[in-house]
Structure 1
Amino acid sequence: MKLKFAILLIFVSFSIQAQTTVKGKVVDEFNNPLPFVNVFIKKTNFGTTTDDEGKFSFKMKKRRGILEISFVGFQTQTLKITPKTKFLNIVLKEENNVLEEVILVTKPKKRLKKKENPAYNILKEIWKRKRKNGLDLVDHYQYKKQTAIEIGLNNLDTAFIKNIFKKEYNSIIKEVKYDSDGINYYIPIYLSEQITKVYGNNKTNKVREDIKAEKNEGLGAQGFVFDRMSNTFQNINVFQNNITLLRKSFVSPLSTDGFATYDYVLYDSVVQNNTKLYNIYFFPIRDQDLAFEGNFWVADKTFSIKKMKMKVVKGANLNFVRGLTFEKEFEVRNDSVYIPTKNAYEGDFTLVDKSDNNKGLTIKKTILFDDYLLNKALPPTFYEQKAEKIRPDQYTKDETYWENKEISENKSTYKLIKTVKGKRKIKKLTGLINTLASGYINLPFNIQFGPFWTSFAQNEIEGFRTRIGFRTFKTKDDRFRLSGHLAYGFKDKGLKYGAEAQYLLSYKPRISTSFAYQNDIEQLGSVLLNTNQLLGRSFGATALFSRGNNFFLSDVKKYAANFDYAIDKNLHLGFNFTRAKIRSATTQENFSINYTDENGNPKSTVTDVASDIYLTFTPGRFVYGLGVQQRFGKNIFPSVILNYRHGYKGPLNGTHDYDKLQIKYSQPILLGKFGLLDATIEGGKTFGTVPISLLSIIPANQSQSLVKNTFALMNYYDFVTDAYAATHFEHHFNGFILNRIPLLNRLKLRSLVTFRAAYGTISNENNAINKSNIKYNVPNKVYYEYSVGLENLGYGNLRFLRVDAIWRSNYTPPQGSIAEPSPKFAIRIGVRPGL
């Protein structure tokens, strides 16, 4: 035993003697320690990087070797290592300043582990301090913010310019800007500027923004499409782990989990204004991930970001998007407080594909920050006040105000836009863009026809159905709007119509009212909860392709009125009053909604006279537009809707007295790189004895397309309830799974899963009065559907299609049911635009 121990001891001794410990310190020519320097033995894996004090220490198995000391921006050194080497004092000399050179940094061929990558140590320091730096360090702050949004046509050749300007070409071409490629041309068509004063109180987390002035010029304000695209560029907080963009979660390059998504390259370090800056480039590991590529400069010691520029990688494949770039600049004060000085966002949008040869639409958004005043407190009540914009021209100023205030490069742009906006070809092109985005075609006298995608439909009662819709539209901020439609069925030879007039009574508080009349057919039960939608727009009656026979349509003649009061921007209280005469749209043999009244007499028509009081709460929702019709951005926000409905028997010949209480809660949840979970839960209860047309019908969907919050493998009127609960969960992985599968990742597909369920009951009293040929059925046990799907399907830049494979639970239709059996499995197609 002692012999074995002695042999082991001798073996260990030889092993220890065979190792060499290398220690030292690396400094620059001014004796400043250099952190994050690469110190490695050539042609081996032995080595390390220096710490914050420039020191290093590691062990190697061999007794001799060549030590290589390298750091971007400095001259590389080599030293011989021998058993006599004890401690090395190494001085690195800086190379020539490379900031003026054209820098091209490519993605590394070999991926370094975290601890081997010198950028990792810098990122660790950024992570430690990212919640400590910035304006959050001061109690109070003020600054001026100037925002400019510019829209233009890009990638234009000289032939296109000549065709537009004709005789003016020689004089105008001198003023037309080059595109970002420096080859083709760019023509601005719309420009707006806004000056805002911002006041912040970090003690109470209150921020007040006062708009001081606005101006705009051009064609972009005619349609919502330009707003929607420009609203893509909200405040991008790069210090968050995940950045929300177009309802998708992109991993920030400064994320604490960034090394799972990015490769980092520490490219350079320079001294600027007595501050050493490190330049770090980042690239997505997988080209199809929702991620960025670019670089950022970070200050030594404070590790605050000085400048960052990044763009969405093309592999992310966003609909209509050829490119999105973001640039941020910061100023460092007192070695600790960094403040933003500039945000510059630019989007390049195309219709068909991402080819650089195609013409496109450019959206530029530039925000300049200046006039900072830190730690000057104002009265607490000052921060509580809100200076809201309530009228379109509220902050418009004349040209004398803007003489010394507008962004300098925009002065020539305004002049060019005034010339461009009168050109007929430009008007046609921007009108086409608006038509494709909104579905409406511009006509003279501020009238629009559309939307064109509802022009044709097919159902068993009308046969082939055509529909022409219209609306008045002068600007997006119209205070009054009249809309309506005419429809004709070639089988029943019936003319249907509807019209709605809306008017904004008051800008502040925001109060609107609307009145509508409808004489049309509807698929009742398309939705469970409806608040201020007065005209029926049920997909069951307007689908072009459906499964099975659907005679279950109702003829609805309805008067309706709405009064909506905005308590706050995202908190609305509303009142509805309706009188609807409802009967079957076909013969009693095909579809009957008959019932017996309290005297036992059979009835075939319901006259529903009812009022609704609703409350909608959508905190954080993005609202834009100051007219009677507002639009909502594609951001992430929760939604709560509470509705109480009362039916009146007697007044205006109302046939039923009842009460109905409903609630609906929706919550999109961003789960970082794992995707987006869209969740909806709703429930309701009807009090009183009412016929089928006034009960809660679980929304079925017999069309061949996917419709949100409906059940695709359920027939219309399969489940009729007076008390119900339903839930819908839809999770979009946004490439998290498929991007990691070789070969398949080249298709740029995204996976998703869904789960939907419903449960309900019905009272004996409501069952007893039913004399229709619909046999009441309720999901006394939970009915559910689940599916897996693929999205981002399409060609080129048009990838808004999805395909779902759907299964359902088993259930038994009631005896005598006239509906065809619903399928247990189906494939459905959905459309999900990117903007």
Structure 2
Amino acid sequence: MLKFNFLITLISLLILSSASAQIKVSGKVIDGKTKRPVAYADVTLPNAGTFTTTNTDGSFYLESVENDSIIEVSLDGYEFFEQELTSKVNYNFTITLIPDGSVRENSTVELDEATVTNRKKKYKNKKENPAYAILNELWKRKRRNGLRIVPQYEYEEYEKLQFDLNNVDSALTKSKLFKDMEFIFERIDTSEITGKAYLPAFLNESVYKVYGKNEPSRRERKDLLANKSSGFDDNEIVTQTLKNLYKEFDIYENRLNFFNKNFVSPVARDGFSVYEYELTDTINLDGIDCYRIKYYPKRDGELTFVGDVYISMNTYAVKEVSMQSTRNIDVNFVRDIFVNLQYEVKNDSIFYPKRDYILLDMALMNKKAKAKGLFAHRTVSYKNFDFETPHPDDFYNERNYDPYTSGAFEKDDLYWAGARHEKLSKNEDGIYETLDSLQQVPRFKRIVKSVEILGSGYWNVWKAIDIGNLYSSVGYNEIEGFRLRAGARTYFTQNDMWRIAGYLAYGFGDKQFKYGAEARFMFNKFNRFQIGGGTKRDIEQLGVQLTTSDGIMTRSFASSSIFNQGANDKLSHINKTNIYTSIDPLKNFTIRFDGNYQTTRAADPNLFNIGYNQHGWDENHLIDTNVSLSLIARPGAKFSRYGIDRYEHTTLAPTIMLRYTKGFSGLFNSEFNYDKIQFLFTKPFLVGSFGRSNVVFEAGKTFQGLPLSLLSVIPGNESYGQVPGTFTQLDYYEFVTDTYTTFTLDHHFNGWILNKIPLIKKLKVREVGFIRAAWGDISAESLNMNRSDIPYLAPHDKIYFEYGFGIENIGWGNFRPLRVDFNWRGNYLEIPDARKFGVTVGMDMSF
């Protein structure tokens, strides 16, 4: 059966290859003496002018539309190899290189990876290497993108995004999963980079007009002139997700951001400490004579590339660069990265982008070469530059252009035939027809619906009514016992300008119903002006956030956890009503005004007392009426959809929030006048090659004495789960303040340490280090007001801190969601029942 499947696959590939009249060669290069793979050898089709470099496992793939009957392989230290090709398609081609008798002590053999590299010359220091002199001239000239230094600019940009299912074989084509959908396999093709058979699955094309101004401050407007996408209803999220895989970077920077990990640029100033460079020859590109420098990593397991960089002989600027990741890249779900960047070189100090192409080979279950996966392509080209036409400042406001009313999504085929910067291949052009046909297949619709339910947690049951969130249906705590929750929401389209949602819950322990309902309306999709309101009656764990959310449809994780380190009995019963309005006067900057009315009492006074002294008598039921003004900035954040609910994509964008809250005594029987100000800053930072740091800083002050439920509690965590923003070794209400400052630093080393340890590096686990600190104070007025049995304590004598390390990326294959943290309490160990050490477990699916 295996032989039959292989035969069918081979015949299919041969037929496809012959039909396209292309030269296709794939295989391995091995050492004639050791029989081990040879890495970084040049493989060329000389008459077609096509070449590539073997990867760390000696593999290569070449493809050309030009006829060529000769293949050549060369590498310093080996005899030149040349052979005539007997057919246009040559798979599993094995090439044996014979050592040329040069000094063998300069060769290196890495037995763990079964890789051989052989260099004819070994330089005593980097300055003896001819490539160093060229790169040094490049470093001397501080290159700048010309678009950033002219007074104004505009140009046209064409972007093509594509998903393909790769490693398509006969077993897949006959799978029951594709019953009634077999027609999609008519479009199987072969990648000209990897040689893998693939099936185009998604295509999105966009044409933009980009306007920019650098003086007196930099501003840019990007108008979507046209968009064409294959038939998914939620293609905007698919498109933006694909875009978000690619980060903007400057090749002249020392580190390049891929998947929020810093890879070493091939022209980094410290490149010689990471890469081997070889000046191979000169080549003419677009009429410009260029040096060709081949580079490859010195060590295994680092975030590096292998490829070629072409540097102008006159200006010492990068004209073109190709980059391919090494086979053992330690990025989940990613087998391979291929990048080709082309530039227009204007003079000694200025360049412009010409064309960018990036291919990501994404693995689904595991990263084995033959495992099923996805190709994710992005092609961007630039033309029609104009540096002369000025525009007034207001012109650069992105809100002056609405693609939804301009007809950008309604362009016909005639428009696209003239608008594309490069013609679609036959298979690319057929994706639209294929996906439109799939939309008519009931089985496909059911698959898409199942994926939508798993992703959103909501299930459409009738017209525009969804039920959910299914993932919050069951919970448990000491007061409610087991808890069931059922919710619903309106959902007409992904860009609804209004939404109504609600839930009903029941606790089998306290035998009480809880509920919540909320309605929100947005009037303008550009400035996102909206109003909303809601109410809820529920059991919650207060004191697990310093900067709390004013929303109604939220629930604290801490009050729903099943396994806890503590009793989890300090819960509160709340009745809350909220109304709000908000507007975004600038992109990613929100001004929000909230009005809140809330009553709070202990869920079980016998277990938790929140009583306080007021007007000479004891109270255990607090009424609070307040308003708050919040200023929220998210510079650099990226969203899909424009409706009232947007999908936010993972970025390195910070969150900066400043909030002022005013409490009113006597308004709706409220009992306290108070003023509170709070500040929040969070941001991930890439730290060179050492990983990523997540920083959280919070500070706040309440200017009057208040009861416990209105004070600022340093967030504790009595669960075994990892809850962001909390202190793992603190109990709930252990530290209570009216003035506070907290700081949290989590550093993800991405295997920078463990990947250097033999045997352990094969596990592909990664290390995390963290420290959390808090300082706070509580006034005598607040202390005297509260009569709880809890001895209120603020960490004002010394800063409270806890620290530890974690192991993340635990799992198997590409499924590595687990993280285990080991936490130590740094001080205040004298407090009764203080938890000195704890282990917490969390989940995080990341690259």
**Shared fold (TM-score, shorter chain, > 0.5):** yes
Q: Does structure 1 residue 645 correspond to structure 2 residue 657?
A: no
Go from structure 1 to structure 2 and tell me whether the alpha carbon gap of 1:504 and 1:615 turns closer, same or farther (over 3 Å shift): same
Task: Tell me if 1:790 matches 2:807.
Answer: yes
After TM superposition, give the deviation of residue 642 of structure 1 in Å: 0.7
Correspondence for 2:49: 99
**Which stretch shifts more, 341-350 or 604-613?**
341-350
CA distance in 1, matches of 2:376, 2:453: 18
- Residues 201 and 823 (structure 1), Cα distance of their counterparts in 2 relative to 1, 3 Å cut: closer
Specify the alignment match of 2:117 in structure 1: 108
Contact 2:498/2:521 (CA < 8 Å) preserved in 1?
Answer: yes
Superposed, which structure 2 residues align to 1:231-242 within 5 Å? 231-242=244-255
- Tell me which of 798, 804, 821 is aligned to 1:804: 821
The aligned residue for residue 416 of structure 1 is: 434
Equivalence for 2:77 = none
Q: Which residue of structure 2 aligns with residue 735 of structure 1? A: 751
Q: Are 1:255 and 2:268 counterparts?
A: yes
Letter in 1 for 2:353: P
Equivalent in the alignment of 2:723: 707
User: What CA distance in whole angstroms lies between the structure 1 residues aligned with 2:846 and 2:695?
Assistant: 20
Q: Which residue does the alignment assign to 2:311?
A: 298
Tell me the amino acid that sits aligned with residue 208 of structure 2.
I
Residue identity matched to 1:655? E
1:457 to 475, 478, 485: 475
**Aligned-partner residue type, residue 429 of structure 2:** K
Post-superposition offset of 1:641: 0.9
Query: Aligned partners of 1:428, 1:285: CA distance in 2, in Å?
Result: 50
Instruction: Go from structure 1 to structure 2 and tell me whether the alpha carbon gap of 1:545 and 1:646 turns closer, same or farther (over 3 Å shift).
Output: same
Partner-residue secondary structure (3-state), 1:627: coil
Q: Is the 8 A contact 2:206 2:224 kept in 1?
A: no
- Corresponding residue for 2:613? 596
TM-superposed CA distance for 1:724, in Å, is 1.2
- Show the counterpart of 1:405: 419
Q: 3-state SS of the aligned residue for 1:492?
A: coil
Please give the secondary structure, in 1, of the residue aligned with 2:755: helix
Supply the AA of the counterpart residue of 2:634: T
The residue number in structure 2 matching 1:497 is: 515
* 2:709 counterpart SS class: helix
Q: Is 789-798 or 441-450 further displaced after alignment?
A: 441-450
> Aligned partners of 2:730, 2:293: CA distance in 1, in Å?
55
> In structure 2, what is the Cα distance between the partners aligned to 1:204 and 1:718?
48
Q: Tell me which residue corresponds to 2:596.
A: 578
Work out the CA distance in 2 between the residues paired with 1:121 and 1:182. Answer: 36
Alignment CA distance shift 1:165-1:525 (3 Å)? closer
Asked whether 1:673 is paired with 2:689, we answer yes
Q: 1:521 aligns with which of 539, 543, 546?
A: 539
State the shift of 1:714 in Å: 0.4
**1:592 and 1:773 in contact (8 A); partners too:** yes
Q: Distance in 2 between matches of 1:435 and 1:262?
A: 46
Find 1:550's aligned residue among 550, 568, 588.
Answer: 568
RMSD of aligned alpha carbons? 3.2
1:604 to partner: Cα distance: 1.6
CA deviation after TM superposition for structure 1 residue 432, in Å: 4.7
Asked if the contact 2:751/2:767 (under 8 Å) is kept, the reply is yes
Instruction: Determine the structure 2 residue equivalent to 1:80.
Output: none
Larger relative contact order, structure 1 or 2 (CA cutoff 8 Å, min sep 6):
1
Describe the SS at the equivalent of 2:433.
helix
Quick one: distance in 2 between partners of 1:426 and 1:227?
A: 23
Hey, what does 2:140 align to over in structure 1?
Answer: 128
Counterpart selection for 1:663 from 679, 682, 692 = 679
Which segment drifts farther, 522-531 or 249-258? 249-258
Q: Greater CA deviation, 478-487 or 388-397?
A: 388-397
Q: Are residues 153 and 471 of structure 1, via their aligned partners in 2, closer, same or farther at CA, if it must alter by over 3 Å?
A: farther
Change in Cα spacing, 1:103 to 1:350, as seen in structure 2 (3 Å) is closer
SS of aligned partner of 1:115:
helix
> How far off is 1:787 after superposition?
1.1
Q: 1:791 to 1:168 in 2, by over 3 A?
A: closer
- 1:269 lines up with 2:282 in the alignment: yes
1:541 maps to amino acid: S
Residue deviations 1:473-502 (CA, integer Å, cap 9, x gap): 444322223334333333223332323222
TM-aligned CA distance change 1:504 to 1:589, over 3 Å:
same
In 2: Cα distance, 1:390 partner to 1:834 partner? 34
Q: Is residue 779 of structure 2 the alignment partner of residue 779 of structure 1?
A: no
Match of 1:11 in 2: none
Query: 1:470, CA displacement in angstroms?
Result: 4.2
Correspondence for 1:42: none
Quote the offset at 1:449 in angstroms: 4.5
Displacement, 1:391?
6.8
How far residue 547 of structure 1 moved from its aligned partner, in angstroms, is 0.8
**Structure 1: gaps spanning 5 or more residues:** 1-71, 74-94, 815-819
CA distance in 2, matches of 1:525, 1:760: 14
Say if 2:385 is the partner of 1:372.
yes
Q: What's the CA shift for 1:640?
A: 1.9
Q: Find the aligned partners of 1:105 and 1:832 in 2 and give their Cα distance.
A: 31
User: CA shift at 1:188, angstroms?
Assistant: 1.7
Secondary structure of the corresponding residue to residue 121 of structure 1: helix
Q: Retained in 1: the 8 A contact 2:154–2:209? A: no
The alpha carbon displacement at 1:436 in A equals 4.7
Deviation at 1:257, TM superposition (A): 1.5
What is the aligned length?
A: 735
Question: Structure 1 pair 123/431, CA: closer, same or farther in 2 (3 Å)?
Answer: farther
Contact 2:236 2:641 in 1 (8 A): no
Report the Cα distance in structure 1 between the residues aligned to 2:453 and 2:333, rounded to whole angstroms: 15
What is the CA deviation profile of residues 442-473 of structure 1, one whole-angstrom value per residue up to 9, with x for unaligned ones?
55534445444434333211223333444444
1:564 matched to which residue of 2? 582
User: Structure 2 vs 1, CA of residues 96 and 551 (structure 1 numbering), >3 Å: closer, same or farther?
Assistant: closer
Larger CA deviation: 519-528 vs 482-491: 482-491
Q: Give distance in 2, aligned partners of 1:339 and 1:167.
A: 48
**Which 5+ residue runs of structure 2 have no aligned equivalent?**
1-40, 57-115
Alpha-carbon distance change, 196 to 397 in structure 1, aligned in 2, over 3 angstroms? farther
Q: Please state how far the C-alpha of 1:438 moved relative to its aligned partner.
A: 4.2
- For each residue in 1:103-155, what CA deviation from the matched residue of structure 2 results, as whole angstroms up to 9, or x when unmatched? 53657356865234433233222222351575457554332101222334433
Q: Deviations over 1:324-354 (max 9, x none)?
A: 4332222344687543221123334344322
Q: How is 1:795-834 mapped onto 2 (pairs within 5 angstroms)?
A: 795-811=812-828, 821-834=833-846
- Contact conserved, 1:509 with 1:566, CA < 8 A, in 2? yes
For 2:548 and 2:273, locate their aligned partners in 1 and report how far apart those are by CA, in whole Å. 44
1:476 aligns with 2:494: yes
Measured against aligned partners, the alpha-carbon deviations of 1:732-778 in whole angstroms (never above 9, x if no partner) come to 22233333334433333322221111111112222122122322121
3-state SS of paired residue (2:717) = coil
**CA deviation digits over 1:542-591, x for unaligned, max 9?**
223211211101111211122111021121110111111211112x2211
Q: Is the 8 A contact 1:105 1:281 kept in 2?
A: no
Deviation of the 1:507 alpha carbon: 1.9
| Letter paired with 1:256 | R
Partner Cα distance (1:801, 1:164) in 2: 30
Structure 1 residues 167, 562: CA separation in 2 closer, same or farther (over 3 Å shift)?
A: closer
Partner residue of 2:161?
Answer: 149
CA-CA distance at 1:403 after TM superposition: 4.3
- Would you say the 8 A contact 2:290–2:310 is kept in 1? yes
In the alignment, what sits opposite 2:109?
Answer: none
> CA separation in 2, counterparts of 1:134 and 1:705?
50
CA distances 1:206-257 after superposition (whole Å, capped 9, x unpaired): 4333332233332162674653343121323222112223333222222111
Q: Which residue of 2 aligns with 1:243?
A: 256
Deviations 1:25-59 (A, max 9, x none): xxxxxxxxxxxxxxxxxxxxxxxxxxxxxxxxxxx
Change (3 A) 1:452 1:151: farther
CA contact (8 A) 1:322 1:354 kept: yes
Distance 1:482 1:157 in 2: 47
What secondary structure is seen at the aligned counterpart in 2 of 1:259? helix
Sequence identity (%): 33
TM-score, structure 2 length as denominator?
Answer: 0.79
What secondary structure does 1:725 align onto?
strand
In the alignment, is the contact (CA less than 8 A) between 1:619 and 1:637 conserved in 2?
yes
AA in 2 matched with 1:489? G
